Structure 1
Amino acid sequence: MTNSRREGPIVKKNNIYNYADSNSDFKEEGKVQLKREVNLISGISLIVGTMIGSGIFVSPKGVMRNSGCVGTGLLIWLGCGVLATFGALSYAEVGTMIPKSGGEFPILLEAFGSIPSYMFAWTSSFILKPSALALLSLTFAEYALAAAMDGIGCGHPPEIAVKLTAVVVVMIVVLVNCASVKLSTNFLTIFSFGKILSLLIIIVGGIVMLAHGHTEHFQNAFEGEQPGVREVALAFYQGLWAFDGWNQLNYVIEELKDPYVNLPRAIVIALLLVTGLYMLTNVAYLSTMSLPTLLASPAVGATFGKRVLGSFVWIIPLAVSWSVFGTCLGSCFTAGRISYVAAREGQFTKVLAMLHVKKLTPAPAVILNGILACLMIIPNDFDTLLDYFSFSMWLFHGSTCAALLYFRYKRPDQPRPVKVPIFIPIVVVLAAVCLVLAPIIDNPQMQYLYAVLFILAGFAFYIPFVHLGIKSKFIIRTNLFFQKLLFVTLPDEDD
Structure 2
Amino acid sequence: MQKNTCSVFKRHSVPGVLTAINCMSVRWTMRIQDVFTSSKLLALFVIIVSGLYYMCIGHTENFDRAFEGEFGAGPISLAFYSGLFAFGGWNYLNFVTEELQDPYKNLPRAIWIAMPIVTIIYVMANLAYFAVVSELEMRSNAAVAVILGDRLFGGWSWVIPVFVALSTFGGVNGVLFTSARLFATGAQEGHMPAFFSLFHIDKQTPIPSLIFTCLFSLLTLMNSNVFDLINYFSQTLWLSVGASVVGMLWLRRTRPDIPRPITVHIAVPLIFLLAIGCLVVIPAVYDLKNTAVGIGILLSGIPVYYICVKWKNKPQCYNSFSGKTLRFFQKLCSCIYVDSNEKLSN
Contact 1:387 1:448 in 2 (8 A): no
Describe the shift of the 1:379–1:286 C-alpha distance in structure 2 as closer, same or farther (beyond 3 A).
Answer: closer
Match of 1:476 among 323, 327, 341: 323
Matches within 5 A, 1:295-374: 295-374=139-218
Equivalent in the alignment of 1:208: 53
Q: Which residue identity is paired with 1:332?
A: L
For structure 1, list consecutive stretches of 5 or more residues without a partner in the other structure.
1-155
Structure 1 vs Structure 2 CA RMSD: 2.3
Deviation at 1:464, TM superposition (A): 3.8
Quick one: distance in 1 between partners of 2:297 and 2:73?
30
Quick one: distance in 1 between partners of 2:30 and 2:232?
28
Deviation at 1:232, TM superposition (A): 4.1
Percentage identity across paired residues of the two chains? 35
Q: Which residue identity is paired with 1:372?
A: F
Quick one: distance in 1 between partners of 2:79 and 2:220?
27
Match of 2:90 among 231, 246, 250: 246
Q: Which residue identity is paired with 1:277?
A: I
Describe the shift of the 1:364–1:209 C-alpha distance in structure 2 as closer, same or farther (beyond 3 A).
Answer: same
1:282-327 per-residue CA deviation (whole Å, 9 max, x = no partner) reads 1111222333333333321111111111111111110110000000
Q: Which residue identity is paired with 2:92?
A: Q
Describe the shift of the 1:407–1:225 C-alpha distance in structure 2 as closer, same or farther (beyond 3 A).
Answer: same
Contact 2:73 2:282 in 1 (8 A): no
Quick one: distance in 1 between partners of 2:309 and 2:224?
31
Deviation at 1:380, TM superposition (A): 5.5
Describe the shift of the 1:215–1:173 C-alpha distance in structure 2 as closer, same or farther (beyond 3 A).
Answer: same
Matches within 5 A, 1:170-185: 170-185=15-30
TM-score, normalised on structure 1?
A: 0.64
Quick one: distance in 2 between partners of 1:233 and 1:378?
25
Quick one: distance in 1 between partners of 2:239 and 2:28?
33
Quick one: distance in 1 between partners of 2:310 and 2:264?
35
Higher RCO (CA < 8 A, seq sep 6+): 1
Deviation at 1:258, TM superposition (A): 0.9
Deviation at 1:428, TM superposition (A): 1.5
Match of 2:126 among 282, 285, 288: 282
Describe the shift of the 1:450–1:279 C-alpha distance in structure 2 as closer, same or farther (beyond 3 A).
Answer: closer
Match of 2:235 among 371, 391, 395: 391
1:70-93 per-residue CA deviation (whole Å, 9 max, x = no partner) reads xxxxxxxxxxxxxxxxxxxxxxxx
Q: Which residue identity is paired with 2:247?
A: A
Residue correspondences, number? 338
1:108-163 per-residue CA deviation (whole Å, 9 max, x = no partner) reads xxxxxxxxxxxxxxxxxxxxxxxxxxxxxxxxxxxxxxxxxxxxxxxx98322122
Deviation at 1:235, TM superposition (A): 3.5
Equivalent in the alignment of 1:460: 303
TM-score, normalised on structure 2?
A: 0.89
Q: Kindly indicate whether residue 9 of structure 2 is the aligned counterpart of residue 164 of structure 1.
A: yes
Contact 2:78 2:231 in 1 (8 A): no
1:339-396 per-residue CA deviation (whole Å, 9 max, x = no partner) reads 1111112222221111100101111111111122223324664344223211201011
Give the 3-state SS of the residue equivalent to 1:482 in structure 2.
helix
1:162-216 per-residue CA deviation (whole Å, 9 max, x = no partner) reads 2211221111111111122222122211111111001111111112212211123
Describe the shift of the 1:450–1:295 C-alpha distance in structure 2 as closer, same or farther (beyond 3 A).
Answer: closer
Quick one: distance in 1 between partners of 2:74 and 2:98?
40
Give the 3-state SS of the residue equivalent to 2:115 in structure 1.
helix
Equivalent in the alignment of 1:84: none
Q: Kindly indicate whether residue 272 of structure 2 is the aligned counterpart of residue 425 of structure 1.
A: no
Quick one: distance in 2 between partners of 1:260 and 1:306?
46
Which piece of structure 1 moves more, 456-465 or 250-259? 456-465
